[in-house]
Structure 1
Amino acid sequence: MPIDQHGDAKLQGLSLRRLPKVSLHDHLDGGVRPATILDLGDAAGIDLPETDEGALADWFADRADPGSLVEYLQTFDLVIASMQTRESLTRVAREFVEDLVADGVVYGEVRWAPEQHLGGGLSLDDVVEAVQSGIEEAEDAADGAGHDIRVGQLLTAMRQSDNSRDIAELAVSWRGRGVVGFDIAGPEKGYPASRHREAFDYLARHFFPTTVHAGEAAGLDSIRGALLDGRALRLGHGVRLAEDLEVVSSEGEEVFVRFGDLARWVRDREIPLELSPSSNLQTGAVERWGRTMEDHPFDLLYQLGFAVTVNCDNRTMSRTSLTRELHLLTEAFDYGLDDLEAFQLNAAAGAFLPIEDREELIEIIGEGFDH
């Protein structure tokens, strides 16, 4: 299949922050403000590596850039240790949504692993309730300030643990009360989706939507497992799906690409890819193609018609926002306003919402970009 190179459309003088955005792949413990980590860590008696907000932000950014998903994930230990009480979870969730509002997000899904927040004696239901309280407080405050935002929880099971069935049951029990989907995360290599087949079977029987981290630290087999064992409706990252594409020739400004069966299946069924450009570079997920944003296969996937979406993954570790990610992509690939709108429409179409709400969200995005 041929693809065309971009023209010279540029975004001059446009405030990307004001554009309506949809955030599908954003971790709660990856988006805690450094100042909040200092407060909560001090209250919990945690030995923090830095005592200054700016220095702590630098510490996270430096240690989250090793080119390894496993090392990248180790930076979360400190944050999670400070999120073991109702008050801390509610505060983090409230501030998380406040930061989405400031970034122009109109719909977001926040993913997090309840099992990692039981150290203070709370139950699984307690921690979900605490996070939901923070979300609703921020939604109400935003509404009072004239910004309409809706945020749903994605409950995550850790793929190296054995309690995914419990988390699946927890997610279904909170359906209609703030939880909109299920996810598995953690070290991808050696922990395939098939280990959690019982949980995915349970979710399928209850028609509960799932997204699965796949195609980040592991390749095509991991993506197959997410689709076949996990019944994933979206792929968390999924960037290594590009390994199933072969550039066979170039003629002038046209590049001809051959699809593998897996890539064609994902493209033809419009399964959204939750791409996180900065994070993908940090974790080494795109090392096969290079180490700069211009090397990221985002543009190849986009031009070939995949349902690409733009995400932060972990705002603190990547020191980023959706606005920044869109800016970086625009600089790398010369995108115009229509391209940025397409990314938001893809995300809206893939949101774990009823069709009526997705259609309303699509209208909000269209009106916002028109203005």
Structure 2
Amino acid sequence: MLTKEIIQQVPKVELHDHLDGGLRIGTILELAKKYNVELPYDNEKQLQDWFVRGCKQKSLTLYLETFSVTTSVLQTQEALERVAFEAVEDLAKEHVCYAEIRFAPDLHTQQGLSQGDAVQAVLDGLQRGKKETGMPSGLILCAMRNQSPALSLAIAELAVAFCDRGVVGFDLAGDESGHPPKKHLEAFQYIRNKNFNITIHAGEAFGVESIWQAIQVCGAHRIGHGTRLIEDMNIEATHIEKMGSLANFILDRRIPMEMCLTSNVGTGVAIDYARHPFPILFRNKFRVFLCSDNRLMSDTNLTKEMEIAVEYYNLSLRDLEKITINAMKSAFIHHDEKLDIIYTVIKKRYQEIRTQYGILD
């Protein structure tokens, strides 16, 4: 069994991390005081418990309620730059060697900030974080499913406009039920016409149809979550007896899936860790990897997600390396940049850890 010490030290790649879902509690308290934002509690411990109660109680309603608080303190360039910088700091402490952080610019315009200024503020924070820690990162802009298609198109255009300044992709997030991705088709067509990158939240709260639309109609290059893909499979124990056409397509085309264990259990997408589909997909060669989703609301980070996977799925160090390389191969950066990180950071460091701890897997 891999120890927590070893897991903490391994290099990691984070591709599904929401900016407004990963703030430090201390930062929320300071920003709320500065901007006169009312909080549920002004005590750090009580506020922490309030943020994680949705995940602990498996209540999606309580889980989502907390985002109104984090976005309320992120309505200025200064605040956005700060939390982006702190996100890089926190990820770098976990030995994350590359990250893609995402946010919805439109949620940060309540006090007159333009979407463009919001994006630039976050990019400034990420860049300052890189200078401080050495950890490179990219920014993904999110449109929301419940917003108008016109607004989604505007955010897609914004993503492309910033593609040479650190924005690496476009995402569609929010409640899947009643909000199919095809409603935002014009935004996705714009992104595809510009040879840009698409990831879509799908197969989390809605089934196979949502994943199918994301890939076949909207052209997603990655899927956020994808948990419900197992509904397109016949499974015996951990072995897939038969797959439908969508599952086969995803496997054959190596379409990556960003899997978030604690988030999925906390929102009721998966019953518990033992019955999460991740190990089935991983053992059957799908390109899956681990992500934290919302580090604050789920009281997690990538190190904890790996610890859970090792405990429940008996993963080896070699498995963690494979997951990390799966993620790096799936990043929205150029091929030569991926290879550089894989060979000069990931493979090199995993081999050093094997030597250091005498691991022969």
TM bucket (normalised to shorter chain) is: over 0.9
What does the per-residue CA deviation read over 1:150-195, in whole Å, with 9 as the maximum and x for residues that have no partner? 1100000011001100000000000110100000101111111101
Deviation at 1:256, TM superposition (A): 4.9
Residue in structure 2 matched with residue 259 of structure 1 by the alignment: 243
Residue in structure 1 matched with residue 310 of structure 2 by the alignment: 330
C-alpha RMSD of the superposition = 1.3
Amino acid at match of 1:312: S
1:295 to 267, 275, 290: 275
Q: Name the CA distance, whole Å, in 2 between partners of 1:36 and 1:267.
A: 41
Residue in structure 2 matched with residue 369 of structure 1 by the alignment: 350
Residue in structure 1 matched with residue 208 of structure 2 by the alignment: 220
Deviation at 1:362, TM superposition (A): 1.2
Map 1:104-183; keep pairs closer than 5 Å. Answer: 104-142=95-133, 148-162=134-148, 163-183=151-171
Once structures 1 and 2 are overlaid, which stretch shifts more, 304-313 or 13-22? 13-22
Q: Name the CA distance, whole Å, in 2 between partners of 1:354 and 1:272.
A: 16
Q: SS of 1:258's equivalent?
A: strand
Deviation at 1:121, TM superposition (A): 1.2
C-alpha change, 1:42 and 1:242, in structure 2 (3 Å) is: same
Would the aligned equivalents of 1:26 and 1:311 in 2 still touch at CA under 8 Å?
Answer: yes
Residue in structure 2 matched with residue 5 of structure 1 by the alignment: none
C-alpha change, 1:256 and 1:241, in structure 2 (3 Å) is: closer
Residue in structure 2 matched with residue 316 of structure 1 by the alignment: 296
What does the per-residue CA deviation read over 1:196-228, in whole Å, with 9 as the maximum and x for residues that have no partner? 000001011101110000000001000011102
Deviation at 1:229, TM superposition (A): 2.3
What does the per-residue CA deviation read over 1:264-297, in whole Å, with 9 as the maximum and x for residues that have no partner? 11111111110000001011112xxxx2211111
Deviation at 1:14, TM superposition (A): 4.5
What does the per-residue CA deviation read over 1:96-153, in whole Å, with 9 as the maximum and x for residues that have no partner? 11101111101000000000001121111111111111111111011xxxxx311100
What does the per-residue CA deviation read over 1:58-109, in whole Å, with 9 as the maximum and x for residues that have no partner? 1111134453545422210011011001111111111011101111101000
Q: Name the CA distance, whole Å, in 1 between partners of 2:220 and 2:58.
A: 26
Would the aligned equivalents of 1:351 and 1:358 in 2 still touch at CA under 8 Å?
Answer: yes
Q: Name the CA distance, whole Å, in 1 between partners of 2:170 and 2:66.
A: 23
Answer yes or no: is 1:39 the counterpart of 2:4: no
Would the aligned equivalents of 2:239 and 2:284 in 1 still touch at CA under 8 Å?
Answer: no
Would the aligned equivalents of 2:54 and 2:267 in 1 still touch at CA under 8 Å?
Answer: no
Amino acid at match of 1:316: L
Residue in structure 2 matched with residue 4 of structure 1 by the alignment: none
Residue in structure 2 matched with residue 99 of structure 1 by the alignment: 90
1:20 to 3, 8, 11: 11
C-alpha change, 1:200 and 1:68, in structure 2 (3 Å) is: farther
Q: Name the CA distance, whole Å, in 2 between partners of 1:109 and 1:100.
A: 11
Q: Name the CA distance, whole Å, in 2 between partners of 1:273 and 1:125.
A: 29
Aligned length: 349
Would the aligned equivalents of 1:200 and 1:229 in 2 still touch at CA under 8 Å?
Answer: no
Residue in structure 2 matched with residue 273 of structure 1 by the alignment: 257
What TM-score, normalized by structure 2, do the two folds share?
0.94
Answer yes or no: is 1:184 the counterpart of 2:172: yes
Structure 2 unaligned spans of 5+: 353-361
Amino acid at match of 1:303: R
Q: Name the CA distance, whole Å, in 2 between partners of 1:346 and 1:82.
A: 35
Residue in structure 1 matched with residue 355 of structure 2 by the alignment: none
C-alpha change, 1:116 and 1:294, in structure 2 (3 Å) is: same
Amino acid at match of 1:213: H
C-alpha change, 1:12 and 1:36, in structure 2 (3 Å) is: closer
Once structures 1 and 2 are overlaid, which stretch shifts more, 51-60 or 203-212? 51-60
What does the per-residue CA deviation read over 1:280-330, in whole Å, with 9 as the maximum and x for residues that have no partner? 1011112xxxx2211111101111110011000000001111000000110
Structure 1 unaligned spans of 5+: 1-9, 143-147
Map 1:69-80; keep pairs closer than 5 Å. Answer: 69-80=60-71
What TM-score, normalized by structure 1, do the two folds share?
0.91
Would the aligned equivalents of 1:65 and 1:72 in 2 still touch at CA under 8 Å?
Answer: no
Deviation at 1:13, TM superposition (A): 6.9
Answer yes or no: is 1:347 the counterpart of 2:338: no
C-alpha change, 1:201 and 1:255, in structure 2 (3 Å) is: closer
